[in-house]
C-alpha cells in the first residue's frame, strides 16, 4: 500500500514481437495505446514505432497479462504475436547488470534479447553457438546480452537465429532502446509516487 492507502500499481513494459518490422504487421502506436487502455491497462505510453508499450496495472500475474495482451492483439489486429513482459524491477536489474564492456563503441552492435519464460534458461546458450572472434553472448535471467562487430554482423551465428523456431520465443531491443524504456518506467514510477 502507498501512503494514501491505495494499492500500488505495477509498472510493466510489453515488448511485442514483429510489430512494424520491415513493413510487416503495421500498427499505429496511437491505435495500440487505445487498445491497451480498452483492455483496462492504465498510464499507457508507447516508445518508438516498434511495439514497446509501458503501462500500469493492479494485476500481478505476468503470464496472465501476456495472454491478455496477446488475445487483444489477435482480436483487434489479427496479429498472432507473442508478448514478452518485464516489470519495472526486472528492467532495473537488467540495466544494472549490463556488461561493462558495452561502452558505446560504434564498431560494435549491442542488443538485449528478451526471452519468454518458456525458454528462459542458461541452457539456451548450448543452442546458440557463436563465433567468438566476432560476437559475444552472455546469459542473465530473462535475457541474453549479444554484441557483435558491426563490420562482421552478417557472418554472425545470431543473424541466423531469425530463421529458427526458437526465435519466436524472444524479442530483441538495442542497448539504447532498453535503457530508454527503463528511464521511462522510472519516470512513471516517480510520477505515481508524487
Residues 6+ apart with CB under 8 A from 148: 108, 109, 134, 135, 136, 156, 158
This prediction's pTM? 0.90
What nine digits make up the cell of 10?
A: 505495477
Whether residue 53 contacts residue 66, with contact meaning beta carbons closer than 8 Å, is answered with: no
Neighbours of 36 (CB within 10 A): 23
Q: Give CA–CA dist 75/68, Å, rounded.
A: 11
Vertex 111 angle, CA 17 and 65, to 5°: 35
Q: Please compute, for residue 192, the number of CA atoms within 13 A of its CA located in the half-sphere on the CB side.
A: 21
* E strands in the chain: 10-16, 42-47, 52-57, 83-87, 108-115, 135-140, 143-149, 170-174
Q: pLDDT tens track of the chain, all 194 residues?
A: 344 445 578 999 999 887 655 556 678 889 999 999 999 999 999 998 878 999 999 999 999 999 999 999 999 988 888 899 999 999 999 999 999 999 888 999 999 999 999 999 999 998 888 888 999 999 999 999 999 999 999 999 888 887 888 888 999 999 999 999 999 999 999 998 87
SS3 at position 171? strand
pLDDT of the residue at 24: 61
What nine digits make up the cell of 47?
A: 516508445
Nearest Cα to Cα of residue 66 among 117, 121, 30: 117
pLDDT of the residue at 19: 66
pLDDT of the residue at 179: 96
Nearest Cα to Cα of residue 136 among 115, 107, 161, 157: 157
Amino acid at each position: 500500500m502507498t501512503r494514501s492507502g491505495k494499492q500500488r500499481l505495477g509498472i510493466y513494459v510489453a515488448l511485442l514481437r514483429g510489430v512494424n518490422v520491415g513493413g510487416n504487421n503495421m500498427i499505429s502506436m496511437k491505435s495500440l495505446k487505445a487498445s491497451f487502455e480498452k483492455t483496462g491497462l492504465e498510464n499507457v505510453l508507447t516508445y518508438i514505432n516498434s511495439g514497446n508499450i509501458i503501462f500500469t496495472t493492479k494485476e500481478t500475474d505476468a503470464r496472465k497479462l501476456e495472454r491478455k495482451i496477446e488475445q487483444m492483439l489477435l482480436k483487434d489486429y489479427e496479429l498472432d504475436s507473442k508478448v514478452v513482459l518485464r516489470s519495472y524491477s526486472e528492467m532495473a536489474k537488467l540495466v544494472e547488470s549490463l556488461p561493462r564492456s558495452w561502452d558505446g563503441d560504434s564498431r560494435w552492435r549491442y542488443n538485449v534479447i528478451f526471452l519468454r519464460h518458456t525458454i528462459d534458461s542458461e541452457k539456451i546458450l548450448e543452442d546458440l553457438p557463436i563465433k567468438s572472434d566476432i560476437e559475444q553472448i552472455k546469459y542473465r535471467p530473462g535475457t541474453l546480452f549479444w554484441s557483435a562487430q558491426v563490420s562482421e554482423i552478417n557472418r554472425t551465428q545470431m543473424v541466423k537465429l531469425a530463421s529458427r523456431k526458437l526465435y519466436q520465443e524472444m524479442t530483441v531491443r538495442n542497448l539504447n532502446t532498453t535503457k530508454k524504456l527503463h528511464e521511462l518506467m522510472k519516470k512513471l514510477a516517480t510520477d505515481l509516487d508524487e
